[in-house]
Amino acid sequence: MNKKYPKEMNGYFLAFIFLMIFIPPSLHAQNTIPVSGKVIDDTGYEIPFAAIGIVSKNIGTTSTEDGTFYFQISKAELKDTLSISSLGFSTYRLPISEIVKNEKMVIVLEEKTTSLNEVVVNSTSFYVRKALKKLKENTLNKNHELNLLYRRWSVEDNTCRFLIEQNIKAIDRGPSSYLNKFSIENTRTSADYRFVKNEQKLHALKYMEYNNPLRKGINVKSYKWDTIGDSTYDDEDVIIVQGVIDGQETITLYIGLNSSKIFRLEMEKKPQVGKSLTATYIYKNNKADKLYLSYHQREWKGASKLTENIRRAMISASKTAPVYIPIAYRHEVYVLDLIENKSLFQTGESASNLDMSNYASNYDEEFWKSLSMPPETKFYRKNIEELEGIYGVSLEDQFKYANPIY
């Protein structure tokens, strides 16, 4: 049944919509509170990829390779408790209010020892098979939305020459299934200093998905399995196992001894001479104790044949023109937010599968300022310094001049 409202109410409603659309992001940001710090061990070394957040509300982030972290909360979370979990260390908890007061908070995790040598009696492949059998049970396998920050650096002749960043919303069903769809919310690029300009046939997000052995399915019999170490995670003993196909592929899994959860996966592939792929997938628990993707990093290395135009230009500049030059893609993906309530999903029409550089950029400086960006790391700075060093142009200037203003 349709309801009729007075004209005044319609006017109020339109005014509300107008304000919600046109209020600058900087004003919305005033309602958020930054939470930041650094996670180290008792010897002062940084702890990378620690799960940090308010588990009961699916709020949080993953520490960078330098142990630093940053995310935003609302005032409603000031009375909650922050949880920090990392492989090999006891879980640490402290009030959110305590860390908000200290802008340079350093959190020291205590190393936790295991007694797995006395417990592990089954073959290594037994634990792998059990973990794969329970993969769907142990992971978030219903539709959920991931808010992603995807960075890809294009490297040519061992120098980073192009950066593309995208904020992506993706509907996932966990590592036992595949991504349903994804939409690109915002894109920005650096200046493009590439001369080969190699392109991927699909969006890089799809390669993140396709290269994950958990999604493709692991043929346990194809690998030679060994136990290479032990650790802990969230007070559970963890067995570290490695599967090897000689000269082709290595997979390392961090498996909870009691739960059979796979908390971390590392892989290295050498499909052809001169080509290689390394990747890491980090998973953490949601409020229902189900794992979902938290962080991903990978690097693909190969070579590309020089075009005739480039070859002639190099010769004209009195430079040696090789037939092939080394190229690489460096990828880094942060999951900024997890949404499980379908009514709150914001993923739009599914994007086409194009190379990341073939999507129109719509540079909105305020959007990127308001996004909960992870802290800069040594890895990030290394890439940016290479990019800025080509012609001495800062990344911020490259963003401003290489992208149409939104």
Residues 169 and 273 in one domain: yes
Same domain? 57 vs 205: no
CA-closest candidate to residue 187, choices 382, 364, 9, 10: 364
Exposed, middle or buried: residue 10 (CB in 10 Å: 0-12, 13-18, 19+)? exposed
Distance of CA 393 to the CA centre of its chain: 27
Residue 249 located in a structural domain: yes
Confidence at residue 121, expressed as pLDDT on a 0 to 100 scale: 62
pTM for the full predicted model: 0.88
Q: Is residue 13 part of a domain?
A: no
Burial of 315 (0-12, 13-18, 19+ CB in 10 A): exposed
Q: Indicate the pLDDT class of residue 321, thresholds 50, 70 and 90.
A: confident
Both 63 and 153 in one domain: the answer is no
Instruction: Kindly state whether residue 14 falls inside one of the protein's structural domains.
Output: no
Residues 91 and 135 in one domain: no
Which residues have CB under 8 Å from 289's CB, separation 6+? Answer: none
DSSP lists the bridge partners of residue 242 as: 226, 252
Residue ending a domain, choose from 69, 93, 112: 112
Structural domain range at position 149: 117-402
Q: Which of 112, 137, 168 is the last residue of a domain?
A: 112
* Residues 91 and 54 grouped into a single domain: yes
Q: Classify residue 21: in a domain, yes or no.
A: no
The answer to whether position 5 is within a domain reads no
pLDDT band at 344 (very low <50, low <70, confident <90, very high): very high
Residue 390, pLDDT > 90, answer: yes
- Give me the pLDDT at residue 315, please: 77
The reply to whether 260 falls in a domain is: yes
CA 381, 386, 387, 392 torsion-angle sign: positive
Residues 220 and 98 reside in one and the same domain? no
- Same domain? For 261 and 392 the reply is yes
**pLDDT given at position 119:** 59
At residue 151, the 3 state secondary structure works out as strand
Half-sphere exposure at residue 95, Cβ-oriented, CA atoms within 13 angstroms: 5
65 in the same domain as 180: no
302 with 382, same domain?
Answer: yes
pLDDT at position 392 is: 96
Per-residue burial over 95-130, b = 16 or more CB atoms within 10 Å of its CB, e = otherwise: ebeebbeeeebebebeebebebeeebeeebbebbbe
Lowest mean pLDDT across 19-23, 44-48, 82-86, 355-359: 19-23
Q: What is the pLDDT of residue 2?
A: 38
Is the pLDDT score of 17 beyond 90? Answer: no
Instruction: Give the CATH number for residue 71.
Output: 2.60.40.1120
Say if residue 143's pLDDT is above 90. Answer: yes
Query: Do 198 and 257 reside in the same domain of the chain?
Result: yes
Domains: count for the chain? 2
| Boundary of a domain, candidates 112, 128, 152 | 112
Compute the C-alpha angle 333/216/147, nearest 5°. 25
What average pLDDT does the segment 100-126 reach? 80
Q: What are phi and psi of 372, to 5 degrees?
A: -80, 75
Tell whether 273 and 388 lie within a shared domain: yes
Instruction: Pick 309 or 80 by higher pLDDT.
Output: 80
At 242-298, the pLDDT tens digits run 999 987 899 999 999 999 999 999 999 997 778 999 999 999 999 999 999 999 999
Do the domain assignments include residue 230?
A: yes
Pair (130, 57) in one structural domain: no
Residue 406 pLDDT greater than 70, yes or no: no
Residue 400's φ and ψ, nearest 5 degrees, are -70, -40
